[in-house]
Amino acid sequence: MGTDSKYYREIITKLERFIRKEHIHIILSGIQLMLVVAVASFTFFTFIEWIANLNSAFRTILLFLFLLLSISALGFLVLLPLFRYFKLFRKETYFEVAKRAGKFFPSLKDNLLNAMQLVTEKTSGNLYSINLVDAAFKNVYRSSKGIKFESAVKFDKARKILPYFVGLMVVSVLLLLIVPGMLSAANRLVNFNKEFVQPPKFIFEVNPGNTEITRGDDILITASVIGEPPKEVFFVLKKEDEADFNHQKINTDSTGRYSLHLSSVRNSFKYFASSEEIKSELFEVTVINRPLIDNLELSIIPPSYSKIPKTIQKDNGNVTALIGSKVEINLSSTKNLTKAFLEFNDSTITELSMIDNIASGFFTVRKDNSYKIKLVDVNDNSNSSPITYIIKALYDSYPVIELLAPNKNLPLGNDNRLTLLARVADDYGFSKLTLKYRLSASRYEPLQTEYSSIEIPLEDLKKEIEVNYIWNLTPLYLAVDDVVTYYLEIFDNDFISGPKSTKTNSYTVR
């Protein structure tokens, strides 16, 4: 039989390669078209959901139509060509394939079709000799030996579809991301079996929400509208001892907010904002009895050297005192306490001792500072917004000394005595006055680098005095042209920061 000819089988193999490449082209085009159908239908149905905000039943129908279109496109445009690629469900004959292939190769077309026609007509009852059929296919084989039929398939259709597919994808994604509500509509469409509440025309943003206030405090309740402004807004309140909610109509202020100011609140209450059947969350203001300072007494005890008497302040926590002063605090609270402490601005803490509602303690003034008194009651409630008290530290000044006479270099008298007259002053008194001296020039003795000291007694301890002292230099055994350098140094009595001293100018005696 002619179909047993090896030349016939070679031609069929060439045509089969042509058919397979055609189907690959069809499959690639079909995948793109199927995705176009899926994306376009999903975007279209999402747009319908965005416009109509449908219920679950209608969204189910839309999703079913989307799946039907997508699956149908998948089957017709992708799966069917794939089956035909594997020779399933093929209806066309090799003669029809040869006619398509022959259009691309005119030099082969007639011989190829004539040869294929011999085989086709043989099956319909017209008999040709095997030698004739074999010779025909041999002639076609020789003519097409260097030709690949599948080279005629160029994938032009797939390339033309690709820009439309990419464009549709970009447009669909932009619609979902840019158009307000489209992404939510897509989510509702995917979750077709859920019921979604239509978003309200506006929502309330209410402050302070749930909060606690101290009994007797004022409170400001505000509401801002996000969305389309309503015509009327009500604050709806119910105190803990009332059965029903009370409505209060509120007008906007200059900032566009709705505000309600309540003075001297005594009882806890619940509240929410309402308008056009749209309500905010239900909030609660809880009124608590926070601990308050009922009585405050400060005893300020300056350092003993200052001789300043103790002072007592009532209901005033501000302190102005000399550095080193001890400040004793005694207070009573409106409630029994579990904790009380002083919180300073430099982050230090001073705990107070407690008995029931009484707290006491002390601190020492070291520098300018400030502090708050923090209280915690047995219900773990703390005093809110405690007062900040100021600590002003007073600094002890340096003592002042002036050598009145002699206030220049002098020769030593024959009696080896030098009369010194000095005036000293300090804001809180003195601890000692010293005469410092050394041998600074001599022909016979080694010079002294360290000063020797003589303490001059201070009989009057007033804040400002004059001191008259006769310095006998005889024990120094000075020789001719020996020079002694000297000065006076006064020390105050500040034992907190350490005694501070001041010196006079240095003078010489020869």
Task: Answer yes or no: are the C-beta atoms of 310 and 300 closer than 8 Å.
Answer: yes
Which range scores top for mean pLDDT: 110-119, 196-205, 370-379?
370-379
Task: Answer yes or no: are the C-beta atoms of 296 and 317 closer than 8 Å.
Answer: yes
Do 134 and 56 fall into the same domain?
yes
Do 144 and 56 fall into the same domain?
yes
Q: Does 417 reside within a domain?
A: yes
Run of H or E including 152: none
Q: Does 150 reside within a domain?
A: yes
Q: Residue 62, Cβ neighbours under 10 Å: how many?
A: 20
* Cα 144–Cα 145–Cα 147 angle in degrees, nearest 5: 60
CA dist., res. 253 & res. 240, Å (int): 29
Final residue in a domain of this structure, among 338, 361, 394: 394
Do 8 and 150 fall into the same domain?
yes
3-class secondary-structure state, position 54: coil
Task: Answer yes or no: are the C-beta atoms of 242 and 270 closer than 8 Å.
Answer: no
pLDDT digits (tens, 9 = 90+) for 234-247: 999 998 888 889 98
Q: What is the DSSP letter of 39?
A: H
Q: What is the reported pLDDT for 55?
A: 82
Do 281 and 314 fall into the same domain?
no
Q: Does 184 reside within a domain?
A: no
Q: What is the reported pLDDT for 384?
A: 81
pLDDT digits (tens, 9 = 90+) for 267-307: 899 999 998 888 899 999 988 888 989 999 999 999 988 88
Q: What is the reported pLDDT for 504?
A: 93
Q: What is the reported pLDDT for 197?
A: 64
Q: What is the pTM of this model?
A: 0.50
Q: Residue 340, Cβ neighbours under 10 Å: how many?
A: 26
Mean pLDDT of the region 198-216:
85
Q: Does 414 reside within a domain?
A: yes
Sorted by sequence, the CB contacts under 8 Å of residue 222 that are 6+ apart come out as 206, 207, 257, 258, 259, 260
Q: Does 197 reside within a domain?
A: no
Indicate the average pLDDT of the chain.
85
Q: What is the reported pLDDT for 359?
A: 95
Do 7 and 142 fall into the same domain?
yes
Do 438 and 388 fall into the same domain?
no
Does the pLDDT value for residue 140 go beyond 70?
A: no
| Distance set, CA 160 to CA 32, 34, 36, 39, 151 (Å) | 10, 15, 13, 18, 19
Do 276 and 297 fall into the same domain?
no
Structure tokens given for 70: 């997508």
Q: What share of the chain has pLDDT > 70, as a percent?
A: 89
- CATH number at 338 reads 2.70.50.30
Mean pLDDT of the region 5-32:
78
Structure tokens given for 307: 């001789």
Q: Which amino acid makes up residue 431?
A: S
Q: Does 98 reside within a domain?
A: yes
Do 227 and 253 fall into the same domain?
yes
Task: Please identify which residue in the block is written with the tokens 């979750």.
Answer: 191
- CATH number at 466 reads 2.60.40.10
Q: Does 181 reside within a domain?
A: no
Do 7 and 46 fall into the same domain?
yes
Q: What is the reported pLDDT for 110?
A: 58
Does the pLDDT value for residue 173 go beyond 70?
A: yes
| Domain that residue 241 falls in | 202-288
**Given phi > 0 = left and psi -120 to 50 = alpha, else beta, which region is 307?**
left
CA dist., res. 256 & res. 458, Å (int): 77
Do 376 and 408 fall into the same domain?
no
Does the pLDDT value for residue 98 go beyond 80?
A: no
Q: Does 471 reside within a domain?
A: yes
What distance, in Å, lies between the first and last C-alpha atoms of the chain?
A: 154
pLDDT digits (tens, 9 = 90+) for 328-375: 999 999 999 999 999 999 999 999 999 999 999 999 999 999 999 999
Final residue in a domain of this structure, among 121, 150, 171: 171
Q: Residue 157, Cβ neighbours under 10 Å: how many?
A: 14
Do 262 and 303 fall into the same domain?
no
Do 76 and 128 fall into the same domain?
yes
Final residue in a domain of this structure, among 171, 186, 212: 171
Task: Please identify which residue in the block is written with the tokens 């978003």.
Answer: 199
Count of domains forming the chain? 4
